[in-house]
Chains A and B, each alone.
Chain A
Amino acid sequence: MRELSYRHALREGLDEELTRDENVVLMGEEVAQYNGAYKVTEGLWKKWGCKRIVDTPISEAGFIGMGIGASMLGVRPVMELMFWSFHSVAFDQLVNNAANVRYMSGGLIHCPIVVRGPANGGTGVGATHSHTPEGLFAAFPGLKVCSPATPADAKGLIKSAIRDNDPVYFMENTLLYGNTGPVPDPEDGDFVIPLGLADCKREGSDITLVAHGASVLQALEAAEKLAADHNISAEVIDLRSIRPLDEEAILKSVRKTHRLVVVDESKPFSGVAASIAALVQEKAFDDLDAPVLRVNSIDAPAIYSPGIEKEQLPNARRIVEKVLTIA
């Protein structure tokens, strides 16, 4: 199979959806003439022109609210946040308008938008630019959240997100944009991955590692170390989508391995991992041979120091150490 970078796979997905539906519009800061701050949209403005690929001012509340309003009239805006960290200046639009308008109108309105961009730490940009808000937004009924780890998943999920008739908040990762991996050729058919479908990235029998986004790669690296150094067979479940959540995939794996460590780059309190731990103790308590443990970022604002910032994030060493306490 051909190999594409994560960023290229995303771009291909966007391009295919621009072709499929004339109401799809890409908008955001620097997405058009500058070719995207992280080059995800490179070449799309040249191909599609100013109507479909729209540069906005640095004005997140303004242009995200505008996209929400336009979606109510049938436009399907795909809006780039240069960093998901900038959600805070558009929060009212993201949660009060996008998430609530269907409910408050008694189901008369829907809001088919996608907001996408990178949501990760580890790039030496400090606390303001290193937020991982997938758990935050997944906490709002009315929103959907996904976070792909591989190029193929990025393409398949962005296409589903754009076709979805509800707001989907799509969280990418600047550290993954350059990663390459196999992505099916468009000539072999329309490649779409449904939201809410987890993927078993590595089969194992002794312990389950549940992760999403870049943490999946850390979990896979840890699994290799566990196998090589400790003879522990770890299964890695990639959630891909946080809401909807593939509960069955998690529970099925836990029922097989009887041990679970959740790896999640967000902070320990009130995060995705905390929710999954609650879910598993409630629905698979008798299947567990050990407490559900979590590897999160160390509970502090994201540190700048390039010398140690990677230590704040989940990494293979921290995952292995955590696993060894229960396996």
Chain B
Amino acid sequence: MAAKKTTKKKSTKSPATKDYASAEINKQLTAEDKIELYRKLVRIRRFEQFSLKEYNGGKMGGFLHLYIGQESVAVGAVSLMGENDHVITAYRDHGHALAVGMGMNECMAELYGKITGCSKGKGGSMHYFAPDKNYWGGHGIVGGQTPLGIGLAYGLKYKGLKGSALTFLGDGAVNQGAFHESLNIAALFELPVVFIIENNGYSMGTSQVRSSAHPEEGLAARADAYNMDWDVCMGENLYEVRAHVWDAMKRAHEQSKPTILEIKTYRYYGHSVADANAKKYRTKEEIEKYQRDHDPLKVWQAVLEAEGVLTSEQAAEIDNAAKEEAKAAVEFAEESAYPEVSDISTDIYWELDNDTEASRQGTLLFD
């Protein structure tokens, strides 16, 4: 490594004053593209609201980590993905799943633990996968997905493909050792990875100031320790998210270099729905302020209406369609069957599932 000390922070303009709509990557968006982005935001919101209702009705087990309030982060980042761009995230994964194009039916059925779920009911809320859409999960252990993210980037580089691995994590994950190991290796090996810290301010019930030692500039500044580029932006406006994520993706594509991008966002619900203290570690007023002034759906709708791209009637139609789709997904999940007991014992070994010669020697699964 060069001995020269470099401060890598990139963004100098205040995000509030920068005209993100005129960023090159956003100027390329057609009216249809912009409406489609709105549709994605709304579909995630409605999917999760319906899932919350059914969760509270006792229809599914486990945890439900809602993404509501953060939708613009996944939708904005995923909208930039090309053929060789990949995405991996932690357990708050429904938004990324729908953003990459997974269907509401398979996602809802997975929450119900039904055989028609995206993981056949074997993964649950925290473990959605769609490798055909470059979506590699859906991981339950805080920070545990970050080494996999650099692995995706390693795979791209090894194969000589110009792509990136968008590796999402929460603000609570920045203190995990695996994340720091990933940062070091990503910088050392010059891997085309974009670490996207979705900073919603709370690692479960512990606020950022009570959990993370960090400079005023933000959590992403930890990248300085690894001589890595970093950046911070606000997450409520898709134009802003896209502009900043694209800068980092270009660095990955063109220079094969990693970035930490911290995107400030907010979740309206608890860490999970089971978070009984969701309204105790923060004030009601705080939550209402975000819902009123910083809601990504409201912000994008206002942007598009101001541009004359979307009318409030169209927005209502999109919303109604998303509600109908989510309702149908609930019905699909309700009507689907649970896995059979025999299904417990499949999808463990590739060789066994494919009945290869290698699987026929010796006992792989014990009584």
Contacts and interface: CB of A to CB of B under 8 A. Distances in A.
Interface string A179-214: 000000000000000111110000000000000000
B349 A142 contact: yes
B130 interface: yes
Contacts of A62: 147, 150, 178, 181-182, 184-185
Contacts of B1: none
Interface in B151-182: 151-156, 158-159, 165, 177-178, 181-182
Nearest to B339: A106
Interface residues on A, range: 35 or more
Interface in A42-71: 51, 56-57, 59, 61-71
A97 interface: yes
Contacts of A305: none
Interface of A: 23, 25, 51, 56-57, 59, 61-75, 92-93, 96-97, 101-110, 112, 141-142, 144, 160, 163-166, 194-198, 241, 243-247, 275, 279, 282
A108 B350 CA distance: 10
Contacts of B138: 104-105
Given A63-B185, A70-B151, A105-B129, A93 B350 contact: no
Interface stretch (B115-123, B259-267, B285-293): B115-123
Interface string B183-209: 011001000000000000000000000
Interface string B130-159: 111000111111001111111111111011
Contact of A166 (B146, B351, B361): B351
B155 A245 contact: no
Given A56-B185, A109-B136, A73 B120 contact: no
Interface of B: 86, 88, 117-123, 127, 129-132, 136-141, 144-156, 158-159, 165, 177-178, 181-182, 184-185, 188, 346-351, 353-354, 356-358, 361-367
A142 B155 CA distance: 22
A69 B131 contact: no
Nearest to A247: B363
Contact of B119 (A65, A92, A105): A105
B361 A197 contact: yes
B146 A65 contact: yes
Given A165-B350, A244-B362, A106 B147 contact: no
A106 B123 contact: yes
Contacts of A110: 350
Contact of A195 (B122, B147, B358): B358
Nearest to A196: B362
B151, B155, B181, B357, most chain A CB atoms within 10 A: B151
Nearest to A282: B367
A129 B184 CA distance: 25
A57 B188 contact: yes
B182 A103 contact: no
Contacts of A160: 358
B131 A51 contact: no
Given A63-B185, A72-B155, A247-B363, A108 B131 contact: yes
B361 A246 contact: yes
Given A92-B144, A106-B120, A166-B349, A65 B362 contact: no
A69 B141 contact: no
Contacts of B127: 104-105
A68 B131 contact: no
Contacts of B354: 165
B290 to A, nearest CB: 32
Contacts of B346: 107
Contacts of A275: 366
A69 B144 contact: no
Given A195-B362, A244-B363, A103 B348 contact: yes
Nearest to A54: B189
Contacts of A69: 88, 136, 147-155, 165
A66 B140 contact: no
Contacts of A65: 144, 146-148, 150-151, 178, 181-182
A189 B189 CA distance: 38
Given A69-B155, A72-B148, 10 more contacts: A56-B185, A59-B184, A61-B177, A66-B182, A96-B144, A97-B144, A106-B117, A106-B120, A142-B349, A166-B350
Contacts of B136: 69, 72, 109
B347 A103 contact: yes
B140 A96 contact: yes
A105 B147 contact: no
Contacts of B146: 65
A94 to B, nearest CB: 11
Contacts of B132: 108
A105 B366 CA distance: 22
B316 to A, nearest CB: 36
B131 A243 contact: no
A64 B147 contact: yes
A66 B178 contact: no
Nearest to A59: B181
A303 to B, nearest CB: 30
Nearest to B161: A73
Contacts of A109: 129, 131, 136
A104 B122 contact: yes
Nearest to B177: A61
B121, B149, B363, most chain A CB atoms within 10 A: B363
